[in-house]
Amino acid sequence: MEGNRKDVGRITTRNIAIFILFLVGLVSLYSNVLWFLRYLYPLKYEEYIVKYADEYGVDPYLVAAVIKVESNFSPEAVSPKGAMGLMQIMPDTARWAAEQIGIGNIKAREFFNPGVNIRIGTWYLAGLIKEFKDTDLALAAYNGGRGNVREWIKSGIFDKKKNPNFIPFEETRRFVQKVKKAYFWYKRLYDFETRT
């Protein structure tokens, strides 16, 4: 009987040791997965994202997701169509938005300034969200043009309930899907301190 107690004691001690090693392994795995996901979904310029998201009433995770998809947080990014900076703003749109915001006449090189670019891009995104009252439509307008989105609504092409892939432009449809995926991960990986 006494021999059985020693065996039970050893088994219990061994089981506890295995359990502790298992927990250490899980924590290590979680840390590596978290590191990998943060590598895939980086975050830079958080102070500007939070500041202008608060100022213009936009979800900061959405702003981060747009930046991720548009430029992967590269402030010097230029698209083949000429969109510039972190939020890939077209020069004419940026100049118009800068006038509306009260920044005044800005030079093209200023589009690459993270603070200026995020401010203009977030203001523009806020306007689209307010106009279309739908995040998917606002994102589609951000990428494919507000005039096109207005036309989709007018012609009846837009109906998310009947067709979740309502966006006729493939590039714009992929853009919206990518932003939504990035938004999902930014919400889980980061904690923005906002006033709203």
CATH number 1.10.530.10 is the correct assignment for the domain at 44-189:
yes
Query: Closest Cα to residue 116, out of 46, 39, 52?
Result: 52
Quote the mean pLDDT of the chain. Answer: 87
- State what percent of residues in the chain have pLDDT above 70: 83
Q: Is 70 a catalytic residue?
A: yes
Q: How far apart are CA 53 and CA 55, in angstroms?
A: 6
The whole-number pLDDT of residue 196 equals 47
Reply yes or no on whether the pLDDT at 83 is more than 80. yes
Q: How far apart are CA 184 and CA 163, in angstroms?
A: 22
pTM, entire model: 0.81
**Distance separating the N- and C-terminal Cα atoms of the chain:** 67
The one catalytic residue among 70, 76, 99, 193: 70
Query: Per residue in 3-41, pLDDT tens?
Result: 555 555 556 777 777 777 666 655 555 556 677 888 888
Residues 6+ apart with CB under 8 A from 35: none
Query: Per residue in 156-178, pLDDT tens?
Result: 877 766 565 778 899 999 999 99
- Residue 105 pLDDT class (50, 70, 90 cuts): confident
Q: How far apart are CA 44 and CA 98, in angstroms?
A: 23
Residue with tokens 């904690």: 191
Reply yes or no on whether the pLDDT at 55 is more than 90. yes
Write the CA distances from 190 to 27, 33, 45, 65, 67, integer angstroms: 18, 14, 13, 12, 15
Q: Identify the weakest region by mean pLDDT among 35-44, 132-141, 171-180.
A: 35-44
